[in-house]
Structure 1
Amino acid sequence: MEASVIKRSRGRPRKEDAPEPAGILHAALSAFAQHGYAGVSLRNISQEAGVDAALIARRYDGKFGLWRAVVDEVSAGLKNAYLPAAQGPEIALEARLHATIERFVLFSLDMPDLGRFFADEISRPGERRNYVIEQIWNVNNEALLPLLREAQGAGMLPPECDAETFLTMLIGAVAMPLMMRSVALPGINSEQGKAAYMRNALSLFRPRG
């Protein structure tokens, strides 16, 4: 039986030949999180994603364009994650806050490299830091801070804890263990491990009704 041979056409790869962006963006987020922006090349990402580096360069107009696409994807995902949370004045504040925190934890579990990526970028002043604040930090602020301020006014936060500090500690407390997951959370990739992590996170940050 004669094996079929697929001939690759000559010339530059066509932008439309690239696979769906999700795999590329996932590989890029992981690479940026592990190695930092300066330590990553399109070749590294292309090898991880199984995509020609030239296709990535053409689709995203280089490394910075790809980096921005990663941030935009995270931002859009966060906004969508917060949408189903319980809303409306007819729903008790405790239930609204609990649902919103739960959505944040679920999103973090689905994207465990985000914490390391965010921590690295937020520590480096410049254009990338400003963009991460605008597209990621501000999304969390807009979803959680009004609820936390309302909870503070209702006496639902721990004594002497203000809403802004509570939010910062929530994000850090959820992200840090996931950054250390290979050491501290060996079972986190299983459904049971994720469920246990969710229970612990919600227990720590449950509003006091």
Structure 2
Amino acid sequence: MSDPRAAARSPRRRRDADSTRAALLKAADELFAERGYDHATIRDIGERAGVDAAMIARYFGGKAQLYIAVLHEEMSDDIPQDMLDPLRMRHLVDRAVRRGPSPIFQVALRPHDDPQAQAASREQLHRRIVGPLVARLTADGVDRPQEKAEILTAAFVGVLTARASGAFDRMPDLDADELTSLLLELLPPRH
């Protein structure tokens, strides 16, 4: 007689769990970017992932924890270059052009209804975008680096969001290279 617990620990079952978890993370990342945290439903995430939505509770605990896992999946332990670095800006713009503003940018537009998701988004926005920019501006001797970093971040998020809003005639036609180039022209050069 075989031990049912051994089957649960089998490599095949682990691969299935890994692929289910990965599919949920990918679907959630896409839907959070497209609709925002508050409008991406657990059911829609499960459908896009091709799995039962109940798996979200099993693997993550709930929608807020899944959202936090998406945020952590996107980051590394390294503090990224500031957004004024041309390669970093190109990466951020390219992602927004392809998939919409990232979940951490959405917190700059409107607070999430869920306090846990709000806190996680805000923390990542400051860790990955505002903080590196403050460090750069401080190193450059810029007056009021925190305030200026926050304003630059808000302007950048606004541009990425406005591009997809339909409110402007030419911005939606700009590809990632053109948009990055124009943004770098408008933002202050490094001293």
Q: How does the TM-score come out when normalised to structure 2?
A: 0.68
What is the aligned partner in structure 2 of residue 109 from structure 1? 94
What is the aligned partner in structure 1 of residue 16 from structure 2? 17
Rounded to whole Å, the distance in 2 between the matches of 1:121 and 1:37 is 10
- Write out aligned runs for 1:165-184 (5 A): 165-182=147-164, 183=166, 184=168
Query: Do the aligned residues in 1 keep the contact of 2:20 with 2:51 (CA within 8 Å)?
Result: no
Q: In the TM superposition, what whole-angstrom CA distance separates every residue of 1:144-169 from its partner, at most 9, and x where no partner exists?
A: 21210122x2xxx6xxx632232122
- 1:206 is displaced (CA, Å) by 3.1
Rounded to whole Å, the distance in 2 between the matches of 1:121 and 1:16 is 38
Percent identical pairs in the alignment equals: 26
What is the alpha-carbon root mean square deviation over aligned residues? Answer: 3.3
Which residue among 131, 134, 150 is the counterpart of 2:139?
A: 150
- Structure 2 residue identity aligned to 1:167: A
What is the aligned partner in structure 2 of residue 90 from structure 1? none
User: Rg: which structure is higher?
Assistant: 1
What is the aligned partner in structure 1 of residue 8 from structure 2? none
Distance 1:175 1:116, change over 3 A: same
Rounded to whole Å, the distance in 1 between the matches of 2:105 and 2:130 is 19
Is 1:187 the counterpart of 2:173? The answer is: yes
Q: Which moved more, 1:120-129 or 1:176-185?
A: 120-129
Query: Do the aligned residues in 1 keep the contact of 2:38 with 2:112 (CA within 8 Å)?
Result: no
Structure 1: gaps spanning 5 or more residues: 1-13, 86-95
- 1:73 is displaced (CA, Å) by 2.3
- 1:97 is displaced (CA, Å) by 8.4
- Structure 2 residue identity aligned to 1:135: Q
* Paired residue total: 170
Rounded to whole Å, the distance in 1 between the matches of 2:45 and 2:20 is 15
